[in-house]
Structure 1
Amino acid sequence: MAGTAAAAGAAGLAALCRRRGEADIAGCTALVTGGSRGLGLLIARELGRRGCRVLVAARGADALDAAVADLRGEGVDARGLVCDLARDAEVTALAARIRDEYGGVDVLVNNAGVIRVGPAAAMSEDDVAQALDTMFWGPFRLTRALLPGLRERRGRVVTITSIGGRISVPHLLPYSCAKFAQVALSRGLDAETAGSGVRFTTVVPGLMRTGSHLGIEVTGSPRAEYTWFAAAAGMPVLSMDAERAARAIVAAALRGRRHLVLTPAARAALIADGISPGLVQAALRTTARLLPHGQSPAVRTGAQARRQTGVFLRALTRLNDRAARRFNQVPAQRGGAGGAGGPRGREG
């Protein structure tokens, strides 16, 4: 009797801890966009380790196959779905396939992104449109299509935005515009679905070592733009280990947190902006003056620009280079330099 009572007590305590802590998602289905590499792959891996069946969506079939093999090698029940979120028809088809084949999802992670680095003068309207299509319209359409099922399942929507969605970063104008819109989308839907059972988590990361510096696109002065971006993205004090970030994101979502800011630097920047936005804007203006001012129409991937750099920069990016190899960050080399309509820099 004593043993039975102790077991019952332990089970009750465990249940209470789950209610107060993280939700149990074993047996649930999660969809992670941009899940073939970088942060998306790590989030998919973390969800899978917690017992989720994971659907990863991405544009490139080869990278997607590699990601699914990686996840299955970790014991994750993973499936790959090819979809370009910038294309409305493909988003519609993805949502329909998920409903028909999987009955919907319990967790949706909006993670896909594109990054083009350079001065505003070197950017085209197409650059802005591509960023908005991938990071605003794609998540908007996909979330809206899956929302009825998420309501039925009392599901979770996690949107990976950026510090660039709260403070517009020089030489990342299309990215920042799209991320500002994404923050508004996530927080707005959270407010308007109150009482529906769906929980929205808006994640605002600072710099993370995901290896995405090799997949970005750089223009204006490609080598110089890559240099400052890669150096900042791989700096230990400024950037965060991507695996730790993925664990924090999943834990926050399962605890029902509405808002998560990652990295001390990002928190400090948001606090400063809240106290004195004029001072922060002055700092941004100074930063912009220090950045390259080239207006060449040439576009290079980070991997292509890296070949023109020296040993010193490669020493600074060592941790991020290692992350690129570990997290399936395959450089977008096929198709050459590309133009405004060429292969896009990927965030992950």
Structure 2
Amino acid sequence: MSTLRKFATAAAAGYAGIVVTRAIVRRKRTFDWQNKRVVITGGSRGLGLVIARQLADQGARIAITARTEEDLCAAAAELRRRGAEVIAHPCDVRDREQVATFIDRVTNQFDGIDVLLNVAGIITVGPFESMTMEDFQSAMQTNCWGALHVAMEVLPHMRAAGWGRIVNIASLGGKRAVPHMLPYAASKFALVGLSNGMRAELKADNIFVTTACPSLMRTGSPRNAIFKGQHRDEYAWFSIGDSLPGLSMNAEAAAEQILTACQHGRGEVFIRSPLNVTIALQNLFPELTQEILALAASVLPKMGGIGRTAAKGHQSQSEWSPSVLTTLTEQAAIRNNQI
């Protein structure tokens, strides 16, 4: 047997061994959702609500939180109709005292917490010139510090139990900065670093932290995102992109991937549609990806319009959005309590 063939055989055997070992480890870590006590931030609508629905159907005990009590009540009523035991508590994750009060209520009623899913987040869209320091601070406070606040309150209970799972919903935007979303990208990059560091330090306590980096998902979120500059044009490109099947993915499929990653105790995972090849292209050609993003930035709306004033997506509609091009996103908004 030639040296090259021996090397190829050894490499194949080594790879097969890695695959088998990984499968065994994941199987040992896997758990059932039945009666698991799960906290979901941002659970009143969008991805958080989609995840909560799937957990309700699998018998989990669910605690959801969000800032708007009306949205929470609607979500809780739906989850209870599915047969779930639900705590719905209004809370701003940026406020540590509110977070502590929420977690105290959950642990008193559920006698502990098994799983935390940090889903709460905000998105601000517009050119760099339209952004203020307050936009960056607000993104950090919700998307990064908010996740940290909840994790720090939950961790003592998980350590006491000797078991726990934490899932931080970051973003593909936390691995690749997309133009016109800089506060969001900066905060999600920070969350990725925080989450990966937490995994390294908490594994010894039998607490597995998963960093989920989804691509665009059809959750209906553009309606409640924040837009600046030429806000109607910004909303148009963002909501149309959010609707394209090859670019965005079904929220239910994303939730399934996230929950499976949590069950297997995985580390950093990309949540994407099989049709989305942008992640592979970025990994293979990082500099080319940057050039493509720079080209994209050159054709996005310029500064103007309402300038640094902020408008929600539903305040930024035009002939382009809503339209037939945004049908999937509009349908998702209705399903997922975004309206």
TM-score by length of 2: 0.87
Aligned to 2:308: 297
Task: For 2:173 and 2:222, locate their aligned partners in 1 and report how far apart those are by CA, in whole Å.
Answer: 16
In the alignment, structure 1 residue 195 sits paired with structure 2 residue 204: yes
Aligned to 1:128: 136
Larger RCO of the pair (alpha carbons < 8 Å, separation 6+): 1
| CA-based RMSD | 2.0
Task: For 2:172 and 2:154, locate their aligned partners in 1 and report how far apart those are by CA, in whole Å.
Answer: 26
In the TM superposition, residue 277 of structure 1 has moved relative to its aligned partner by 2.1
Task: For 2:61 and 2:176, locate their aligned partners in 1 and report how far apart those are by CA, in whole Å.
Answer: 35
In the alignment, structure 1 residue 223 sits paired with structure 2 residue 232: yes
Task: For 2:273 and 2:57, locate their aligned partners in 1 and report how far apart those are by CA, in whole Å.
Answer: 27
Superposed CA offset, 1:41-80 (max 9, x none): 0111111222111000100000000000111111121120
Aligned to 1:81: 89
The number of equivalent residue pairs is 313
Runs (5+) with no aligned partner, structure 2:
1-23
Contact 1:164 1:179 in 2 (8 A): yes
Task: For 1:297 and 1:184, locate their aligned partners in 2 and report how far apart those are by CA, in whole Å.
Answer: 29
Contact 1:30 1:106 in 2 (8 A): yes
In the TM superposition, residue 245 of structure 1 has moved relative to its aligned partner by 1.2
Superposed CA offset, 1:135-171 (max 9, x none): 1111112101211211233111011110100001100
Aligned to 1:268: 277
Judge which range, 277-286 or 161-170, deviates more.
277-286
In the TM superposition, residue 19 of structure 1 has moved relative to its aligned partner by 4.5
Which of 36, 42, 49 matches 1:28? 36
Aligned to 2:335: 326
In the TM superposition, residue 28 of structure 1 has moved relative to its aligned partner by 1.7
> What percent of counterpart residues are identical?
38
In the TM superposition, residue 266 of structure 1 has moved relative to its aligned partner by 9.3
- Segments of 4+ moved more than 6 angstroms: none
Runs (5+) with no aligned partner, structure 1:
1-15, 331-348
In the TM superposition, residue 249 of structure 1 has moved relative to its aligned partner by 1.2
Aligned to 2:20: none
In the TM superposition, residue 113 of structure 1 has moved relative to its aligned partner by 0.4
Contact 1:238 1:263 in 2 (8 A): no
What secondary structure does 2:287 align onto? helix
In the TM superposition, residue 110 of structure 1 has moved relative to its aligned partner by 0.3
In the alignment, structure 1 residue 288 sits paired with structure 2 residue 319: no
What secondary structure does 1:317 align onto? helix
TM-score by length of 1: 0.85
Relative to structure 1, the CA distance from residue 317 to residue 267 in structure 2 (aligned partners, 3 Å threshold; closer, same or farther) is: closer
Relative to structure 1, the CA distance from residue 19 to residue 310 in structure 2 (aligned partners, 3 Å threshold; closer, same or farther) is: closer
